[in-house]
Amino acid sequence: MNIRYIYLFVLALGFFACDEDDKILPEEVILPELTAGTADFSNYVAVGASFTSGFTDGGLFKASQENSFPNILSKEFAKAGGGAFTQPLMSDNTGGILAGGNVVRGYRFVFNSDIPGPQSLDAFLNGLGASVPPITTEAGVSIGSDFKNFGIPGAKSWHLVAPGYARLNPYYARIASAPTATVLADAMAQNPTFFTLSEVGGNDVLGYALSGGDGSNLITDSATFNDALNALITGLTSGGAKGVVTNVPFITDLPHFTTVPHNPIPLDTETAAFLNSAAAYGAYNAGIQGAFAFLVANTPLTQELADIEIAKRTITFEASANNAVVIMDESLTDLTGINEELVSMRQATAEDLFVLPASAFIGTEAIPGNAQTVNGVAVPLADKWVLTPEEQEDIKVATDAYNTTISDVANSNDNIALVDLNGILSELASTGIDFDGFNLNADLVTGGAVGLDGVHLTGRGYALMANKFLEAIDTQFGSNFIESGNVANANDYPTNYSPALQ
């Protein structure tokens, strides 16, 4: 019997003195014995991408893997008949990985209050004059595939079923059973009795978002995603295993895209006047006016629509601490046929989202030493730094389509439970979630839920995620992890990792 004691204290109202008979003594609360319900946790296997692996702070390292949500789950499963849960631990805590001795993923991030945005561990230690530990995890050295955690950072949905993916992904290269193996087949070789399939589809939109929608990393089409998901579910349940899947969050809720403001440029009166002059943006604004006057006179474009376009593209600055940056926007009407100098640029609005690395780029000089080449002011930010509303809509449309498929699959299969990861992260981004007295939210650094890369969770965030899995398992399979108190505790998991961690 699992027994916990809850001590209730009541403050007397009105008088300081009270009779002995009025005192409330500690109350013993007896929790029910844990039951697994209809689930068999004896051989738990996790499949997914970076969340499943324990990736955080821009890297994968031993300490973060030990706090992965599957490892946290396995500790609770062990109390209900679960077996050993082995993970392909990295060789160190640097967060980096090598391929053929070359760094293919650098050091993890740490917090440095003296700079904007996160800082890499090696840069932080160099700044202190401290020694930098070497990256020792080598992707080219196979450590076998006899593991239970197949969380592969960077994997898109179709990567998990693609033969030869080990040739493209250094994390999978370490554990693939063969160069032509698939993640799904290697996971199935472990003969799972229970599985989690998490954040499948996340990287299918995340790659596009991290690149600012610049076309270098396209969103996976729905048909390809559907085929991959169905193959994964069919394979993982083929031996009678039950499991849990998650839907895909709206990644634009994450602090990687919500931390950098659209208007961080401070200007004095003199500088603002110069930028507004004909020598700078004044001539550009006049050119915009002339181009649309030509279009109104020579095309079906109305003056009303022209005025809207002119207002959207006019660039002005003022003496203020909060001027909006200038960005390139390919969704604007192409005016270069009228005037080749009228490139598609505008000032950002609150509807635009900036990737986190932009915090360290905005305000730098395109030509060092030339104050008239400030990025985001005199030089517009390229597409890779910003997600425009149109690009955000592309992400939402794809995410909604993925989630419809995931929901349909889960609802049609009694052996599948569904975790609403989308709802969880949306709640973290809006009101926060209470976790053992801590209000976890999605604010960068201070929120406690999301790590320093602005995308992946902290150890405590993964613990919260594990508990949400347990809730879904209880509901679908009749276990009672929550009711019996067999859950992860917030105080057991960190919100950050020390730079001294070796």
- Evaluate if residue 5 carries a pLDDT over 70: no
**Neighbouring C-beta atoms of residue 313, cutoff 10 Å:** 23
Question: How confident is the model at residue 432, as a pLDDT?
Answer: 98
442 pLDDT exceeds 50?
Answer: yes
Mean pLDDT of 247-258: 98
Q: Are 73 and 196 in contact (CB under 8 A)?
A: yes
Kind and range of the H or E element at 3?
strand 3-6
Residues 352 and 261 sit within 8 Å (Cβ to Cβ): no
Residue 19: which pLDDT band, with cuts at 50, 70 and 90? Answer: very low
132: phi then psi, degrees, rounded to nearest 5:
-105, 120
Q: What letter does residue 465 receive in the DSSP assignment?
A: H
**pLDDT attached to residue 26:** 57
Query: pLDDT tens digits for 206-226?
Result: 999 999 999 999 999 999 999
What does the pLDDT average to over 16-41?
73
The angle at the Cα of 94, spanning 176 to 249, to the nearest 5 degrees, equals 65
Average pLDDT over residues 252-274: 97
- Quote the CA–CA distance of 466 and 34 in Å, as a whole number: 17
Whole-number pLDDT of residue 357? 95
Token representation of residue 75: 């500790």
Q: Quick one: which H or E segment has residue 208? A: helix 202-210
Q: Looking at domain 44-259+390-492, what is its CATH homologous superfamily?
A: SGNH hydrolase (3.40.50.1110)
pLDDT at 115: 83
pLDDT digits (tens, 9 = 90+) for 31-55: 999 999 999 999 999 999 999 999 9
Residues comprising the chain, all counted: 502
pLDDT tops 90 at residue 20 = no
Tell me if residue 110 falls in helix, strand or coil. Answer: strand
Our measurement of the distance from residue 435's CA atom to the centroid of its chain's CA atoms, rounded to an integer in Å, reads 20
Q: Is the pLDDT of residue 7 over 80?
A: no
Tell me which DSSP letter residue 357 carries. G
Contact status, residue 381 vs residue 327, Cβ threshold 8 Å: yes
| Pairing of β 149-151 and β 119-120 | unpaired
Q: How far is CA 88 from CA 55, 139, 162, 384, in A?
A: 13, 12, 20, 33
pLDDT of residue 23: 52
Write the single-letter amino acid at 210.
L
C-alpha gyration radius of the chain: 27
DSSP letter assigned to residue 262: S
Residue extents of the structural domains in the chain: 44-259+390-492, 265-347+353-387
Q: Is the predicted pLDDT of residue 3 greater than 50, yes or no?
A: no
User: Mean pLDDT across the stretch 362-374?
Assistant: 94
Q: In the numeric block, which tokens belong to residue 130?
A: 């401290």
Q: Global pTM?
A: 0.92
Average pLDDT over residues 264-273: 96
Residue among 251, 156, 222 at smallest CA distance from 404 = 222
Q: CA 163, 167, 173: angle at the middle one, nearest 5?
A: 95
pLDDT at 1 over 60: no
70-118 pLDDT, tens digit per residue, is 999 999 999 999 999 999 999 999 999 999 999 999 999 999 988 877 9
Specify the pLDDT at position 116: 76
| CB-CB contact of 243 with 197 (8 Å) | yes
Q: Which residues contact 217 (CB under 8 A, 6 or more apart)?
A: 207, 208, 210, 211
Q: Is 290 exposed, middle or buried (0-12, 13-18, 19+ CB in 10 A)?
A: middle
- CA 344 vs. chain centroid, Å, equals 30
More confident residue, 10 or 28: 28
Q: For residues 7 and 290, what is the distance between their CA atoms, to the nearest angstrom?
A: 76
Cα–Cα dist 95/109, whole Å: 8
Task: Find all residues with CB under 8 Å of 47, minimum gap 6, and list them.
Answer: 150, 151, 160, 183, 184, 187, 195, 196, 197, 198, 232, 236
Distance CA 150, CA 183 (A): 7
User: H helices of 353-454, where?
Assistant: 389-411, 421-430
CB 466 within 8 A of CB 72: yes
Q: Chain-wide mean pLDDT for the chain?
A: 94
The predicted structure's pLDDT at residue 14: 39
pLDDT in tens, 153-181: 999 999 999 999 999 999 999 999 999 99
User: How far is Cα 273 from Cα 27, in angstroms, rounded to an integer?
Assistant: 71
Beta strands in 329-420 (DSSP E): 345-347, 353-354, 386-387, 416-419
State mean pLDDT over 260-285.
96
d(Cα 405, Cα 387) in Å, to the nearest integer? Answer: 25
